[in-house]
Amino acid sequence: MSFRRNRTFVVAWLTPLLVALLALALPASGEAAGTGSISGTVTGEGAGALSGIEVCAESFDETILECAKTGGAGTYTISGLEEAEYLVIFLPPEGTNYLWQWYGGVQNWEESTLIDLEEGVAKSGINAVLEKGATISGVVTAAATGLPAREVYVCAVSTDESSFGCDETNFSGSYTIVGLAGGQYQLYFYPEGTQDLVYQTYSLGLVAVAPHAEVKGVNQALQAGGKIQGVVRLAATGAPLGGVRVCITRADSVEQFACLTSPASGAYLFYGLPGGSYKVAFSATASEIPDEATKVDAYPTIWWQGASSFATATPIAITPPGIVSGIDAALGPPPAAPVAPPAVVPTPPVKKKVKPKPPLRCRKGFVKRKVHRKVKCVRIHKIVRHKHRHKKSA
């Protein structure tokens, strides 16, 4: 990584993370380190020694990069340098009202003074007096309420991109950007807090800054943004799904605009959206949306209205401060089709076998007769004929 190839990086001042990244440019472990060194003292314009200044030596061929910080007396020593020609840059910590500069008191590496270092030589006296910077300050509010807008990141960038600085608004909405060189600046306001506000540039255009000046009253009222909300559910049961990654992108670019994780209720909300068209993905992965973290859920990625890809997803138009609801999703396999009960084959009725009655037999003295429609055995009644004896008349 080179200071000269990335001007924004140079102006951004080094942080511990950036210093760690710079270590990637150093010789690999096990390679012999150089025996040369560069040292000096850093002071501030109108002040004494400055501590905590990051001083970095970069070889002219961009193969070597070593850094050190100034101590309480403003002194530093960069050791382990191989024989080479070096450019040295002095970077004040963020929030310090001094300008970064290359050795020789310039802000352009082409005009800086090269240091020719031989193997084993300790080059001293590489000193710097950092010029005091200019400042821009103001108050950021919410246009709808007039209340202070806290946690808004305000950045000023010079039109030639040679100087810039940032600050975050406090609870009163105030900010102060320090360490700026003279020039024309564009201001950018990035709401980072919980307020529903939209990113904007300074409404009055460029801000002129004279060297060492304090430019005050650069105030901005931020407009409310649009909203998109919906509920994530399980397709099989309709139950709400928590822990699902939901991402929103611009309709014309698949790059991530914002992402969140659905709560246990499955209901999500994106707010502070500038006007335009968006697309929403559910259970998104880094392979589908750049810069998105790897998902931890087991559901396939879908876009709103069941689309399988960004290209086929339906765009959602937002006009701040409007809200678009019902951007829901059902994840997982679809509900199982109802299983029809097996066909019931009617079982033929079981017929009880009727045992036939034995034929009616009548015993002696009885005969079969039908009585009240039933055949019965009826006793035989003999007709007794009476004989009358008649006397003959004399």
CATH number (domain holding residue 15):
2.60.40.1120
Phi, psi of 282 (to 5 degrees): -115, 140
Asked whether residue 342 is domain-assigned, the answer is no
In a domain, 295, yes or no: yes
Is this structure's pTM higher than 0.85?
A: no
- Domain extent for 38: 7-130
Query: Is 361 contained in some domain?
Result: no
Same domain, 28 and 125: yes
The domain boundary, picked from 304, 331, 358, lies at 331
Number of separate domains in the chain: 3
We report the CATH number of the domain holding residue 305 as 2.60.40.10
DSSP 286: T
Task: Supply φ then ψ for residue 19, to 5 degrees.
Answer: -65, -40
Does residue 346 fall inside a structural domain?
no
380 found inside a domain: no
* Beta partners for residue 259, in sequence order: 247
Query: Which of 95, 130, 165 is the endpoint of a domain?
Result: 130
Q: Are residues 315 and 236 in the same domain?
A: yes
d(CA 308, CA 301): 7
Would you give per-residue pLDDT tens digits along the chain (394 residues)? 566 655 443 344 333 333 333 333 344 433 447 899 999 999 999 889 999 999 999 999 989 999 999 999 999 999 999 999 999 999 999 889 999 999 999 988 889 999 999 999 999 999 999 999 999 999 999 998 999 999 999 999 999 988 899 999 999 999 999 999 999 999 999 998 667 899 899 999 999 999 999 999 999 999 999 999 999 999 989 999 998 989 999 998 887 788 888 999 999 999 888 899 999 999 887 777 776 666 666 788 899 999 988 999 999 999 998 999 999 999 987 666 666 666 666 655 544 444 455 666 676 666 666 666 666 676 665 544 444 444 444 4
Rounded distance between C-alpha atoms, residue 81 and residue 71, angstroms: 20
182 and 149 in a single domain? The answer is: yes
Angle CA 28–37–47, to nearest 5? 120
Output b/e per residue, 319-357; b: 16+ Cβ within 10 A: ebbebbeebbbbbbeeeeeeeeeeeeeeeeeeeeeeeee
Classify residue 338: in a domain, yes or no: no
Residues 6+ apart with CB under 8 A from 334: 235, 236
The answer to whether residues 250 and 325 belong to one domain is yes
Same domain as 55, residue 147: no
Residue 224: count of CB within 10 angstroms of its CB: 18
Helices H / strands E in the chain, number of each: 2, 29
